[in-house]
Structure 1
Amino acid sequence: MSMSVSRSLLATTRRKAAVVVGAGVLLLGGGVAYAYWSSTGTGSGAAETGSAPAFVVASDPATGDPLTPGGPAQSVAFSVTNPSTGVLNLASVLVTVANADGTTWTAGPTGACSAADYSVGTPAITYGPIAAGAAANGSVTIAMVNRSANQDECKNVTVPLYFAAS
Structure 2
Amino acid sequence: MRKLSKKSRVTAAVAGVALVAVGGGAAYAYWTTTGSGNGTATNSAGGGQVTLHATFAGGLAPGNQVSVAYTADNATTSSTVVGALSANVTTDVAGCLPEWFEVTAVTSNSSVAANTTATPVGSGILKFNDSAANQDACKSAVVKVNVTSS
Question: Structure 1 length normalisation: TM-score?
Answer: 0.59
Question: How many pairs align?
Answer: 143
Distance 2:16 2:25 in 1: 14
Unmatched runs of 5 consecutive residues or more in structure 2: 1-5
The 8 Å contact of residues 70 and 121 in structure 2, kept in 1 or not, is answered as: yes
The structural deviation recorded for 1:14 is: 6.7
The structural deviation recorded for 1:13 is: 6.0
Distance 1:73 1:26, change over 3 A: same
Unmatched runs of 5 consecutive residues or more in structure 1: 1-8, 99-104
Distance 1:55 1:35 in 2: 57
AA of the residue aligned to 2:33: S
Residue 97 of structure 2 corresponds to which residue in structure 1? Answer: 114
Distance 1:129 1:155 in 2: 38
Give percent identity, aligned residues only: 20
Deviation track 1:147-166 (CA, whole Å, cap 9, x = no partner) reads 54454443431111112245
The structure carrying a bigger strand percent of its residues is 2
**1:123 matches 2:105:** yes
Distance 1:48 1:155, change over 3 A: same
The structural deviation recorded for 1:43 is: 2.4
Q: Note the aligned Cα RMSD (angstroms).
A: 3.7
Question: Structure 2 length normalisation: TM-score?
Answer: 0.63
Residue 4 of structure 1 corresponds to which residue in structure 2? Answer: none
Please say which structure displays the higher CA radius of gyration: 1
Q: Secondary structure at the match of 1:160?
A: strand
Distance 2:55 2:28 in 1: 79
Distance 1:81 1:33, change over 3 A: closer
1:12-23 → structure 2 map (5 Å cutoff)? 16-23=12-19
